[in-house]
Amino acid sequence: MPHSKPAPERPRPRLGHPVVDADGHIVEALPLLTDVIRKVAGPDAADHFLGSSPAYASRSADRRLTALTGDQRRLGTWITPWWSLPGDTLDRATAFLPSLLHERMDEIGLDFTVLYPSVGLIAAGHPDAAIRTGACRGVNTYLADLTDGLHDRMTAAAVIPTHTPDEAIAELEHAVTRLGYRAVLVNNIVARPVPGGPDGAVWYDVLALDSAYDYDPLWRRCAELGVAVTVHAPTMGIGLRQSSTRYVHNHIGTFAAGGEAFAKALVIGGVAHRFPTLNFAFLEGGVSWGVQLLADLIGHWEKRGGPNIRTLDPAGLAPDLWHNLFARHASPAPNSSPNCAARPTTRRPTWTTTAAAASPHLPTSRACSIASTSAAKPTTRPSPGRSPTPSTRAAPYCARCSARTSATGTSPTCAKSSARPTNSSTTGTWTPRSSATSRATTPSGCTAA
């Protein structure tokens, strides 16, 4: 195998400040890592840790579509990373060996780097508590040993599991006070089983909003220990990032989406307000999503924040003015007579509360409706000189009283209901329909006159 020669040393740009790589990575030597996990957490944690993610069975493995079975492709199993390590010998060795990276820092042009795990990222997401906490403890021990004596130019980030605040605080305190970590990686997206749902159904907890637990004790302890909360959770396999044929499709934007979800929760959930001295870092997602998020937060505050929400309160509507404006300016409905549709209305429809209102989870718009019992029936919509064409579209509101109607387009109690026009299927001309016929095909719940 050919060996690369170091590139000519490049002088660090004269920027007037240090150059820090805030998201470097160590590629773990898997046999050594599993040995450390076995020693620290026992054989079960070591044996099940790597099996939890086939993506890392080999970081150089050919994991193209042919690696998926037919059933996996049909079920939409998303394709995991393949060929994700440098093909250059020196560069690949540099990713595995922090001491070699330390030696090349000036050549690369860095003053300092914060190194995150690669395979170790999956440790914090394992669903089994014993394997999860044991694997995180093993990963953190491995990284601390690997970077020992190199802290003048680099530091590793400890992996913190967050399925519960207690497990997070326990590993945080061990990593900072016992292993000497100065940076921590918090798992900011926790997949939790849906209670009573089918096997494999999960919902995603972003910790800072609508969480299953109160994570304020964790944020408080981070602030007390003087460490920033950094997040690096991918969203591959979630939502629209589930291609079974293209890893690139799943990878683009994955960290930005995870960072945005957490950042929104921090603001909307009030964490940033309650812990103003605590710093947060969102890794490997660029900055454009942050600009867009800031603009969206400002825009939503101007529309819905604080007292601004009062401008959307429907209590401010004047019903009589509303109906009069529509009577004056709305076009007549196709199935109503012009002289009736243009008449201003002064009486509002009667609203009734449906059985659905018993559920506290339904919005008011769904809990309140106009009673209606008739199903939509086919109507005809004639054109001059042409035979009418049957249609099943229901006329949604009575043109006279604004109440919801059946397909006939009128209310049974409207003053003009007896003069409701209909069409002749043979001539295309209008003839009056009897009052009895009109009442038989309209809903009994329309009470406006």
Answer whether residue 157 shows pLDDT above 60: yes
Query: CA-to-CA distance for 169 and 176, rounded, in angstroms?
Result: 11
- Residue 123's nearest CA partner among 180, 47, 52 is 52
Placement of tokens 């009589």 in the chain? 320
> In whole angstroms, how far apart are CA 66 and each of 69, 72, 176?
7, 11, 44
Query: Where residue 67 falls among pLDDT bands split at 50, 70, 90?
Result: low
Query: CA-to-CA distance for 195 and 150, rounded, in angstroms?
Result: 47
- Residue 226's nearest CA partner among 261, 186, 183 is 183
> In whole angstroms, how far apart are CA 345 and each of 289, 325, 445, 449?
50, 9, 18, 9
Whether the Cβ atoms of residue 403 and residue 448 lie closer than 8 Å to each other: yes
Collapsed DSSP state (helix, strand, coil) of residue 305: coil
Query: CA-to-CA distance for 322 and 330, rounded, in angstroms?
Result: 11
Comparing 431 with 275, the larger pLDDT belongs to 275
Q: Which amino acid is at 181?
A: Y
pLDDT digits (tens, 9 = 90+) for 319-360: 999 999 999 999 766 665 554 444 444 444 454 444 444 444
Query: CA-to-CA distance for 237 and 413, rounded, in angstroms?
Result: 56
Q: Using CB atoms within 10 Å of the CB of residue 372, give its burial: 0 to 12 exposed, 13 to 18 middle, 19+ buried.
A: middle
Query: CA-to-CA distance for 227 and 185, rounded, in angstroms?
Result: 10
pLDDT of residue 380: 43
Q: The domain 20-302 belongs to what CATH superfamily?
A: Metal-dependent hydrolases (3.20.20.140)
Placement of tokens 């998020």 in the chain? 293
- What pTM was computed for the model? 0.69
Q: Using CB atoms within 10 Å of the CB of residue 159, give its burial: 0 to 12 exposed, 13 to 18 middle, 19+ buried.
A: buried
pLDDT of residue 244: 85
Distance of CA 432 to the CA centre of its chain: 56
Stretch (H or E) spanning 116 = strand 112-116
Query: Which pairs count as long-range contacts for 311-319, CB under 8 Å and 24+ apart, including other chains?
Result: 319/348
Percentage of the chain lying above the pLDDT 90 cut:
55
Mean pLDDT in residue range 164-181: 99
Question: What is the DSSP secondary-structure string of 406-419?
Answer: -TT-S-TT-TTGGG
Contacts of 17 (CB under 8 A, 6+ apart): none
Query: CA-to-CA distance for 101 and 106, rounded, in angstroms?
Result: 10
Domain ranges in the chain with CATH number 3.20.20.140: 20-302
Whether the Cβ atoms of residue 161 and residue 136 lie closer than 8 Å to each other: yes
Query: CA-to-CA distance for 115 and 101, rounded, in angstroms?
Result: 11
pLDDT digits (tens, 9 = 90+) for 376-415: 434 444 444 444 444 444 444 444 454 545 445 444 555 4
Query: CA-to-CA distance for 251 and 238, rounded, in angstroms?
Result: 11
Query: CA-to-CA distance for 417 and 447, rounded, in angstroms?
Result: 13
pLDDT of residue 76: 58
Whether the Cβ atoms of residue 148 and residue 179 lie closer than 8 Å to each other: no
pLDDT of residue 142: 97
Whether the Cβ atoms of residue 335 and residue 379 lie closer than 8 Å to each other: yes
Whether the Cβ atoms of residue 444 and residue 412 lie closer than 8 Å to each other: yes
pLDDT digits (tens, 9 = 90+) for 69-86: 666 555 557 777 888 888
Contacts of 162 (CB under 8 A, 6+ apart): 124, 168, 186, 187, 188, 190, 207, 215, 218
β-bridge pairing 112-116 and 20-25: parallel
